Amino acid sequence: MKAYAGKVLKIDLSTQKTSLYPWTDSDRERFLGGKVMAAKIIYDLLDDKIKPLSEENIVVISTGPMTGTGAPASSRFNVSSISPLTGLITSSNCGGDFGLMLKKTGYDALIISGKASDKVWLELTEDSISFHDAKSLWGMHVDQVQEALPKRYGKLVIGPAGENQVKYAGLFSGERTAGRGGIGAVFGYKNLKAIATFGKIKTQVYDSTIKSFYKNWISKLRMHPLTGKQLPTFGTAGLLTIMHHNNILATRNFNAGRYNDFDKVSGESLKENHVIKKKGCITCPIQCGRQVKVHDKIVKGPELETIGLFGPNILNNNLEAICRWNLELDEYGMDSISTAGVIAFAMELNEKGLWDNGLEFGKIDNLSEIIRMIAYREGIGNDLAEGVKFLSDKYGGHDFAIHSKGMELSAYEPRGAVGQGLGYAVSNRGGCHLNAGYIVLFEGLSMNMNPYKTTNKAEFTIFSQDMMEACSAAGQCVFTLQMMLPKDILEKPNSGLTSVANKLLTTPITAFIIKRLNYMKSLPIHLPMIPHSKGIKLATGMKMDLGRFKTIGERGFNLERMINLKRGLKASDDGLPKRLTHEAQAGVSDAKVPLESLKKQFYACRGWDQEGIPKEKTLRKLGLYDDQCLFLWKSEKLDADITDEVTSKLS
Ligand code: SF4
């Protein structure tokens, strides 16, 4: 099939043996690539009992069919594994040049298994794979190791945090990060410092008219108010001001949704006082990244999540310090969201007398040192390196331990956007805004769907989750999906049309339409504001339409759910801390996340039972029903069958 390199390489670090992993055109049509492909491989290969930090765990690094075809924002690649932070599947999407170069080397994906007996780095070219001694690289910061590896290569590396198995250490490609879930620690455990690839193979596409199609797509992205104006002008940080006004800016360890000094750390302030220029991923017309000056060096600037969580959430209004910590986190190789979440929680533990650790809200002079101590697991850094859930198990404070399934939440305070709260709770990788469906965009960030009401939130969350899964599987940035929000409405927030559109979002007719869309296996149309399905068709030649595209996302979401269920996930794990579900948001009447009722709607709309287990007919629809998935229903059903049989025999 066109647009694929055609090979998946399995690399066993223990034996230093490699082999090709079977992956057929039928697999490509069903799982596309990226994180959905990775979920299928993990589902097939991994025993449900394996530990995240073990030889048995695997890391799947996968590109999508759009990678390398010139599609907008298509340099993204995915990394999936069993997370040391959550014990569940995690996936992390990354920009940088690694994915593009991997495909040029002739591989769609790599599967890394085993554990090297000593520190190694891997070199992959079109016709060879070499295992190099990495002793001289061990200990190096992310930027140093990238500098030390061959210049023209695409690189994926870890820093000291990964080596020291900090549970939220990330992987880095250029200035971009696969940050969430701690896959950097899995690399560190496996003694793998880096992978570097180089090749010159060109990706072939099916339909030669694709160039003009992409040209048109790019110009639409440039004309859209979000992807053509807001993101390029202010970066993701441009959302901070509106988050404050809408009570969704996480403040003081999620005590509140507003921060009085928000303007000192806003996207506008970043642009005015710190940004030198914008810079983003290769092949991206949006360019949401920023470059700032730290210690006279021009480096990557902080994103919204880093600013929100290292700003308002720890009561810090010093943007310069955030830029500095952002650089330090990148050099040590750690996820900024989890690091900031851990620090905020430790501050509140200290304040409440549960853990005397020297951390205080608003006190920032010791934070550079704390970040270093986490990366090297020194002193209190050793506990902080384990994450919020671990800290709450050790020191208490479960009610204000801001995580879901063990992963620290992003910067959106969900009591001001309850659909986003649902998303955090049911996300497969834990407290992540993207895997949540990013429905906060509808709840005040761009559209104005009533953020406190539960109406239609489950339906929109599912639609959005599935679309983002599919987009990511294609190898494109999920921000390209923002184009589906109607331009005319975003440009005229006060018009009568906008007010009608916002009201329509919560009507039964909209629920009916979205539900139908969610149930459909195929919908034989392409939409101009979601060009992804047509792009995939032109690039690969596979049968593709809007319905199939969305179904690929749904398949991926359900597959990840099945992996988690296999690993012991229960409905009660789809949770949020009590602060968000039972305490009113400071300063805003009685806003709380009504999680149980939202979950009920979500499970029903997803075709799951009340325990959050996909029903047989859901799996049959997705083509996921086979002998392997019988584990889902085993205990209750088999026990009930046996009990019935025994009862009837006795009587
Ligand atoms: S929108 Fe931003 S994150 Fe996405 S590909 Fe472009 S620069 Fe990268």
Confidence of residue 651 (pLDDT cuts 50, 70, 90): very low
**Would you state the pLDDT for residue 165?**
98
N- to C-terminal Cα distance for the chain?
61
How far CA 382 is from CA of 52, 337, 375, in Å, comes to 18, 18, 9
Measure 223 CA to ligand 1 centroid, in angstroms: 16
For residue range 160-170, what is the model confidence (pLDDT) as tens digits?
Answer: 999 999 999 99
Q: Say what the pLDDT of residue 650 is.
A: 40
User: Whose structure tokens read 């991926």?
Assistant: 556
- Choose one of 75, 229, 479 to mutate for the ligand 1 pocket test, by most ligand atoms within 8 angstroms of C-beta: 479
Distances (CA, A) of 79 to 85, 156, 182: 15, 10, 11
Best substitution site from 229, 278, 284 to test ligand 1's pocket, by max atoms within 8 Å of Cβ? 284
CA of 76 to the centre of ligand 1 (A): 9
pLDDT tier, 214 (very low <50, low <70, confident <90, very high otherwise):
very high
pLDDT digit string, tens, across residues 404-439: 999 999 999 999 999 999 999 999 999 999 999 999
| Residue 639 confidence (pLDDT) | 46
- Among 420, 423, 425, residue whose Cα is nearest residue 403: 425
Q: How far is the CA of 611 from the centre of ligand 1 (A)?
A: 37
The DSSP code sequence of 56-93 is S--EEEE--TTTTTT-TT---EEEEEE-TTTSSEEEEE
| DSSP conformation class of 416 | G
Among the atoms of ligand 1, which is closest to the Cα of residue 95?
8
- The band of 638, judged by pLDDT with boundaries at 50, 70 and 90, is very low
Give the homologous superfamily in CATH for domain 8-198.
Aldehyde ferredoxin oxidoreductase, N-terminal domain (3.60.9.10)
Q: pLDDT confidence of 649, banded at 50, 70, 90?
A: very low
**Residue 628: pLDDT band by 50, 70, 90 thresholds?**
confident
396: Cα within 13 Å, side-chain hemisphere: 9
Report the separation in Å between the CA atom of 502 and the middle of ligand 1, taken as the mean of its atom positions. Answer: 27
Nearest CA to ligand 1 atom 2: 288
Domain ranges within the chain, ordered by starting residue: 8-198, 209-219+426-651, 235-411
Please name the CATH architecture into which domain 209-219+426-651 falls.
Orthogonal Bundle (1.10)
* Sheet containing 192-198: order of strands: 129-133, 120-125, 192-198, 154-157, 171-173, 176-178
The verdict on the CB of residue 8 being under 6 Å from ligand 1 is: no
Under the banding of pLDDT at 50, 70 and 90, the label for residue 635 is low
Give percent helix, percent strand, percent coil of the chain, each to the nearest 5: 45, 15, 40
Residue 614 is classified by DSSP as B
pLDDT (mean) for 13-19: 98
**Residue 174 CB less than 6 A away from ligand 1:** no
**Ligand 1 pocket, 287 CB below 6 A?**
yes
What is the maximum alpha-carbon separation in the chain?
A: 85
Q: Which atom of ligand 1 is nearest to the CA of 227?
A: 1
Cα 280 to ligand 1 centroid, rounded to whole Å: 6
pTM summary value: 0.96
CA–CA gap between residue 451 and residue 418 (Å, rounded): 6
* Centroid of ligand 1 to alpha carbon of 489 (angstroms): 23
Q: Residue 603 is inside which H or E element, if any?
A: helix 595-606
CA pair distance 383, 396, nearest whole angstrom: 13
Two structure tokens written together for 54: 């073990």
Average pLDDT over residues 338-359: 98
The mean-pLDDT minimum among 195-199, 405-409, 513-517, 536-540 falls in 513-517
Per-residue pLDDT tens digits for 529-558:
999 999 999 999 999 999 999 999 999 999
User: How far, in Å, is the centroid of ligand 1 from the Cα of 347?
Assistant: 33
The arrangement of strands across the sheet holding 77-82 comes to 17-20, 8-12, 109-113, 59-62, 77-82, 89-94
In the 8-state DSSP scheme, what is residue 302? Answer: P
Mean pLDDT of the 272-278 span? 92
Q: Which of 13-22, 159-168, 488-497, 557-566 has the lowest mean pLDDT?
A: 488-497
> Which atom from ligand 1 is nearest to the alpha carbon of 478?
4
Mutate to test the pocket of ligand 1, among 63, 224, 281 (most ligand atoms within 8 A of CB): 281
Strands 8-12 and 17-20: antiparallel
Per-residue model confidence as pLDDT tens digits over 218-255 = 999 999 999 999 999 999 999 999 999 999 999 999 99
Looking at the chain, the whole-number percentage of residues with pLDDT higher than 90 is 88
Q: Which amino acid belongs to residue 616?
A: E
Instruction: Return the CATH number of 235-411, one of 3.40.930.10, 3.40.50.620, 3.90.1640.10, 1.10.569.10.
Output: 1.10.569.10
What is the residue with the minimal CA distance to atom 8 of ligand 1? 281
For residues 93 and 75, give the distance between their C-alpha atoms in angstroms, rounded to a whole number: 10
**Contact between residue 487 and residue 445 where contact means Cβ atoms under 8 Å apart:** no
Closest ligand 1 atom to the C-alpha of 284?
Answer: 6
Q: Which atom of ligand 1 is nearest to the CA of 73?
A: 5
Cβ atoms of 52 and 84 closer than 8 Å:
yes
The pair of structure tokens assigned to 238 is 């441009």
H runs (alpha helix) in 333-412: 336-351, 367-375, 381-384, 388-395
Across the chain, mean pLDDT equals 94
Residue 280 CB–ligand 1 contact under 6 Å? yes
Testing ligand 1's pocket by substitution, the residue of 175, 221, 288, 303 carrying the most ligand atoms inside 8 A of its CB is: 288
Contact 479 CB / ligand 1 (< 6 Å): yes
Q: Could you tell me if the CB of 477 is within 6 A of ligand 1?
A: yes
Check pocket membership of 281 for ligand 1, CB cut-off 6 A: yes
Best substitution site from 229, 477, 480, 483 to test ligand 1's pocket, by max atoms within 8 Å of Cβ?
477
Q: Is the pLDDT of residue 644 over 60?
A: no
Q: Look at 516 and 313; give whichever has higher pLDDT.
A: 313
